[in-house]
Amino acid sequence: MQVLYRSTRGTDKAYTASEAILKGLSEDGGLFVPDRIPKLDLPLSALAGMTYQETAYEVMRRFLTDFTAEELKQCIENAYDEKFDTPKIAPLVEKNGTFYLELFHGATIAFKDMALSILPHLLTTAAKKNQVKNEIVILTATSGDTGKAAMAGFADVPGTRIIVFYPKNGVSPIQEKQMVTQKGKNTYVVGITGNFDDAQTGVKKMFNDKELAAQLDAAGFQFSSANSINIGRLVPQVVYYVYAYGKLLAEGKIHEGEKINVVVPTGNFGNILAAYYAKLMGLPLGKFICASNENKVLYDFFSTGCYDRNRAFMLTNSPSMDILISSNLERLIYRIAGNDPEKNSRLMEGLAKDGKYEITDEMKQNLQEFYGNYATEEETAGAIRRLYEETGYVMDTHTAVAEAVYEKYRQETKDETKTVIASTASPFKFTRSVMNSIDGKYDALSDFELVDQLSRIAGVRVPKAIEEIRTAPVLHDRVIAAEEMPQAVKEILGV
């Protein structure tokens, strides 16, 4: 049975998966959601023996129903190959009785690679299927990791260009170096003198700008999105939760049907929503523990039912989660509103106009599987230091936010259900914050001395992604105000 994609705001038509991937965002400003969540109609025991690629095929074919088996298998093969430094793709590591699902073994050593290594293939396949003649321009706002992962995926892919906007002072030095050294004739990187939300809002505005779209079309271009609002990113993220469950079964850590909890360090709400979709497919998941840093909008939302972005934006040591507007939450809101686009639209209007909205008690009842909490900067650093001292394992700052929140959850609830923490970045990507958490004495070292020191203390080889940027020349140095984004895009494309 075909799965079609509809807007969470309801006034657009239904699209096939490939059309929805091409469009990225719906015309009415809403996000595409599947009109039904397909069931994972496989015995769970079958998952235990599957490779990552096989699991990806079983999950994705159920969502992307207009892709042929051959097309989808080709996309999966091209994505999950030697770009990853382990054939397991997403290894599950047990420390102190908790399972860390390492999602950072791809080209840019953050979890964005899990979806962004396949999105270019899904997108170019979708373009072929739909006879698209225009060159596809990927517009992306990044809090640090998406931009690099998207560029790594799209660099020199024929028929595509990619323009990335990042907050000039809102990413880690390694993240920035990774982006501004990006090669590829079709890649463009632009710094914004604002924060991530400014960049994201600017990108969304361009997507909704009909006049701009017409100008581009006349010049042979059309926009698409690599942000986590694209269902072509969301669907591949469902895969690793299913895969992790299979591995736990294979290793005899759980019995078939046993529920597990997941903890997800959250920013734009894409990763945790993918886990929720895995549960809706039938995977035995219990609680979704949503971990925030000091930008704790989601914690406040889960505790009060009021989403309110009117607050100071905090720059933290987990910059990929420095977000006050969690775009993908809209998909959850739509669902807990009983898939009612009107109810959802009213709330999103409130968010656009007043920066806030409040859900009804009835909707709140539908959020019981979620638990939200947050970690302060100190708690995050403490979590890194403690796990390192106890086990020798070094986490990155985002994973550490999840770890610290999980500790709070356990103390509050005494829930000892087996738990998977989504480990979203390599510690090598946030070396200074990580090493400072372990011992203040490291702060005197340079960025790359820290890299070598981390390699020594963790007993882990320096990832290729870091070795590559040690000496790479800066190729992108443009910085603009957020209002100038449309102008910059036109200049880049020569429109």
Ligand X SMILES: *Cc1c(COP(=O)(O)O)cnc(C)c1O
Q: Does 110 bind ligand X (CB under 6 A)?
A: yes
Q: Does 424 bind ligand X (CB under 6 A)?
A: yes
Q: Does 153 bind ligand X (CB under 6 A)?
A: no
Q: Does 233 bind ligand X (CB under 6 A)?
A: no
Question: Which of 106, 270, 341, 372 is in the footprint of ligand X by CB under 6 A?
Answer: 270
Cα within 13 Å of Cα(246), Cβ side: 26
Q: Does 433 bind ligand X (CB under 6 A)?
A: no
Q: Does 380 bind ligand X (CB under 6 A)?
A: no
Stretch that binds ligand X, among 264-272, 280-288, 307-315, 341-349 (CB under 6 A): 264-272
DSSP 93: E
Kindly report the backbone phi and psi dihedral angles of residue 181, in degrees, each rounded to the nearest multiple of 5, phi listed first.
-100, 5
To the nearest whole angstrom, how small is the minimum distance from the Cβ of residue 332 to ligand X?
12
Host H or E run for residue 197: helix 196-207
Beta-bridge partner residues of 421:
100, 263
Q: Does 266 bind ligand X (CB under 6 A)?
A: yes
**Which tokens is 280 given?**
């809706």
Q: Does 281 bind ligand X (CB under 6 A)?
A: no
Stretch that binds ligand X, among 15-23, 160-168, 267-275, 340-348 (CB under 6 A): 267-275
Question: Which of 117, 187, 230, 268 is in the footprint of ligand X by CB under 6 A?
Answer: 268
Q: What is the dihedral of CA 304, 375, 289, 458, to 10 degrees?
A: 170
Angstrom distance (rounded) from CA 285 to CA 92: 16
Q: Does 296 bind ligand X (CB under 6 A)?
A: no
Q: Who's near 317: CB < 8 A, 6+ residues apart?
A: 377, 380, 381, 397, 430, 433
Q: Does 265 bind ligand X (CB under 6 A)?
A: yes
- 88 as an active site residue: the answer is no
Angstrom distance (rounded) from CA 258 to CA 271: 22
To the nearest whole angstrom, how small is the minimum distance from the Cβ of residue 266 to ligand X?
4
Stretch that binds ligand X, among 28-36, 51-59, 104-112, 133-141 (CB under 6 A): 104-112
Query: In 209-258, at which residue ranges do the beta strands (DSSP E only) sit?
Result: 221-225
Please check whether residue 111 is in contact with residue 103, taking contact to mean a CB–CB distance below 8 angstroms. Answer: yes
Q: Which is nearer to ligand X, 16 or 271 (CB)?
A: 271
Q: Does 431 bind ligand X (CB under 6 A)?
A: no
Question: Which of 228, 316, 380, 436 is in the footprint of ligand X by CB under 6 A?
Answer: 228
Cα–Cα distance list, 388 to 111, 160, 391, 449, 451 (Å): 21, 43, 5, 19, 16
Question: Which of 24, 267, 372, 463 is in the footprint of ligand X by CB under 6 A?
Answer: 267
Please check whether residue 40 is in contact with residue 281, taking contact to mean a CB–CB distance below 8 angstroms. Answer: yes
DSSP 462: P
To the nearest whole angstrom, how small is the minimum distance from the Cβ of residue 48 to ligand X?
27
Q: Which is nearer to ligand X, 186 or 397 (CB)?
A: 397
User: Coil, strand, or helix at residue 360?
Assistant: coil
Length in residues, the chain: 495
Q: Which of 23, 112, 279, 343 is catalytic?
A: 112
Q: Does 423 bind ligand X (CB under 6 A)?
A: no
Q: Which is nearer to ligand X, 274 or 336 (CB)?
A: 274
Q: Does 330 bind ligand X (CB under 6 A)?
A: no
Please check whether residue 224 is in contact with residue 138, taking contact to mean a CB–CB distance below 8 angstroms. Answer: yes
Name residues contacting ligand X, limited to 159-188 (CB under 6 A).
none
- First and final C-alpha spacing in the chain: 42
Name residues contacting ligand X, limited to 11-70 (CB under 6 A).
none
Q: Which is nearer to ligand X, 46 or 280 (CB)?
A: 280
Query: In 61-148, at which residue ranges do the beta strands (DSSP E only) sit?
Result: 92-95, 98-102, 135-141
Angstrom distance (rounded) from CA 330 to CA 347: 9
Q: Does 321 bind ligand X (CB under 6 A)?
A: yes
Number of residues that bind ligand X (CB under 6 A): 17
Which residues participate in catalysis according to the annotation?
A: 112
| Contact footprint for ligand X (CB under 6 A) | 110-112, 145, 228, 265-271, 320-321, 398, 424-425
